[in-house]
C-alpha cells in the first residue's frame, strides 16, 4: 500500500542523511519515478525532503528539521532483525522479506555490516526437522485469514484419528513447544477452540468476513492447552534418559539416587502422549509413582509386545 511505503521512506530518511532514489526503488520494488512522486507527496504533507545533486547526492530530510535522537538504536535494529528472521523461518512471506530489507535500509551504511553480523549471531529456526510443505501452506492460509478477518475452513484429524470438517473465526496463531496452534471460535461447536495446525488439511480462506468477537486471547492458552489433568510422576532414570529429562524439565527435576540412577519428578497426563513419552525413554526409565500410571505403562508395553507376536 502507498501509505505504508510513504511511512517507511520517512523512517529511513530520519535515520540516514541521504539515500539514492535507486536504492529506495530497489528496497520497495518500485521505479525511481514512483519514489520521486512519493517524495513530492511527503513534501506536500509538510516534511521538507530535498534532492541533493551529484555523485554523492541523494534524497534526504532537511538537516535543520531532523530530530537529533534516532528512532532506533543499533541494538534495537539488531533485535528487530533477529525477530523478523525467526518469523521468516515459518512464513514464506514477501512482506516479511520486505520488512527486513526496509529495516536494514534504515541503518547507516557504515554500521550496516556490523549490525548484520550481530543479528546473525543468534538464529531461531521454527521449522520442524524435515520439510513439510502442507504445514507451511496451512500457516500461510491461517495468516491471510487472520489479517483480513475471513472465515477459515479445513478438515481436522484429532488424536484418535477421527476427522471432521470445521469452519472457524481465526483469532490467534500460537507457537507452543515447537508446534503451531490456531486459537479460534469454532462455528460447529459454538465455542472457543484450539487446533493444532499440523493436523489441519485442505485449509481454505473463505470470501466471507466476520466481525471479531470480544474474546480474551489469553483464554486460548489457559483454557485449552491442558487437555488432560496433570499430575506429578516419579521415575527412576539412568544416564541416557537423564539427559532427556534434563533438557525438557531442567536440573531441579532430578535427584541422584546412587551412582547409576537418578529420581526424576516430572508432570504427566493420563493419555497416549505421556505413555509414548515415557516409552521413548526406553529401558533406562522406570515409573515408580503413581501406581495407576505404572500399571497403564505395563498395559501399554503389553499391547506393543502383542503386535510383534
How much is the pLDDT for 136? 77
How much is the pLDDT for 68? 52
Per-residue pLDDT of the chain (309 residues; tens, 9 = 90+): 567 788 788 878 877 888 998 889 888 888 988 998 888 888 887 888 888 887 778 898 887 776 554 556 667 777 777 777 666 656 656 666 667 776 766 666 667 777 777 767 776 666 665 555 567 788 889 989 998 999 999 999 887 778 899 999 999 888 876 778 899 999 999 998 989 888 899 999 999 999 999 887 666 764 444 445 678 999 999 998 999 998 888 888 999 999 899 999 998 888 888 899 999 999 999 999 999 999 999 999 999 899 888
Say if residue 215 is preceded by a cis peptide, omega within 30 of 0.
Answer: no
Strands (E), 33-74: 49-52, 58-61
Q: What per-residue string of b and e applies to 286-308 under the rule 16 or more CB within 10 Å gives b?
A: bbeeeeebbebbeebeeeeeeee
- Is 56:16 a contact under the CB 8 Å cutoff? no
Q: Give the separation between CA 249 and CA 70, rounded to whole angstroms.
A: 42
Segment (H or E) for 109: helix 109-119
Strand pairing category for 150-157 and 58-61: unpaired
Neighbours of 278 (CB within 10 A): 22
Q: Across-strand partners of 156?
A: 164, 200
- Is 107:170 a contact under the CB 8 Å cutoff? no
* pTM as predicted: 0.53
How much is the pLDDT for 224? 46
Amino acid at each position: 500500500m502507498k501509505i505504508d511505503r510513504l511511512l517507511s521512506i520517512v523512517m529511513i530518511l530520519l535515520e540516514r542523511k541521504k539515500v539514492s532514489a535507486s536504492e529506495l526503488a530497489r528496497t520497495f520494488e518500485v521505479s525511481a519515478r514512483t519514489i520521486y512522486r512519493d517524495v513530492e507527496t511527503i513534501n506536500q504533507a509538510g516534511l521538507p525532503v530535498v534532492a541533493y545533486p551529484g555523485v554523492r547526492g541523494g534524497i534526504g530530510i532537511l538537516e535543520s528539521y531532523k530530530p537529533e535522537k534516532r528512532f532506533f538504536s543499533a541494538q534495537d535494529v539488531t533485535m528487530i532483525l533477529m525477530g523478523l528472521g525467526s518469523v521468516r523461518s515459518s512464513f514464506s512471506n514477501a512482506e516479511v522479506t520486505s520488512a527486513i530489507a526496509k529495516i536494514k535500509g534504515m541503518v547507516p551504511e557504515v554500521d550496516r555490516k556490523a549490525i548484520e553480523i550481530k543479528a546473525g549471531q543468534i538464529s531461531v529456526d521454527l521449522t520442524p526437522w524435515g520439510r513439510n510443505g502442507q504445514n507451511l501452506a496451512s500457516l500461510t492460509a491461517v495468516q491471510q485469514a487472520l489479517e483480513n478477518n475471513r472465515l477459515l475452513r479445513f478438515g481436522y484429524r484429532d488424536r484418535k484419528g477421527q476427522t471432521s470438517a470445521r469452519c472457524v473465526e481465526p483469532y490467534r496463531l500460537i507457537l507452543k513447544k515447537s508446534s503451531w496452534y490456531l486459537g479460534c471460535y469454532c462455528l460447529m461447536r459454538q465455542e472457543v477452540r484450539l487446533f493444532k495446525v499440523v493436523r489441519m488439511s485442505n485449509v481454505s480462506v473463505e470470501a466471507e468476513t466476520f466481525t471479531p468477537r470480544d474474546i480474551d486471547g489469553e483464554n486460548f492458552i489457559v483454557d485449552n492447552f491442558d487437555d488432560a489433568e496433570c499430575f506429578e510422576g516419579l521415575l527412576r532414570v539412568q544416564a541416557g534418559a537423564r539427559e532427556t529429562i534434563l533438557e525438557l524439565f531442567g536440573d531441579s527435576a532430578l535427584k541422584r539416587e546412587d551412582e547409576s540412577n537418578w529420581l526424576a519428578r516430572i508432570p504427566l497426563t493420563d493419555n497416549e502422549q505421556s505413555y509414548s513419552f515415557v516409552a521413548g525413554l526406553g529401558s533406562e526409565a522406570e515409573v515408580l509413582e503413581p501406581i495407576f500410571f505404572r500399571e497403564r505403562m505395563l498395559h501399554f508395553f503389553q499391547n506393543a509386545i502383542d503386535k510383534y507376536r
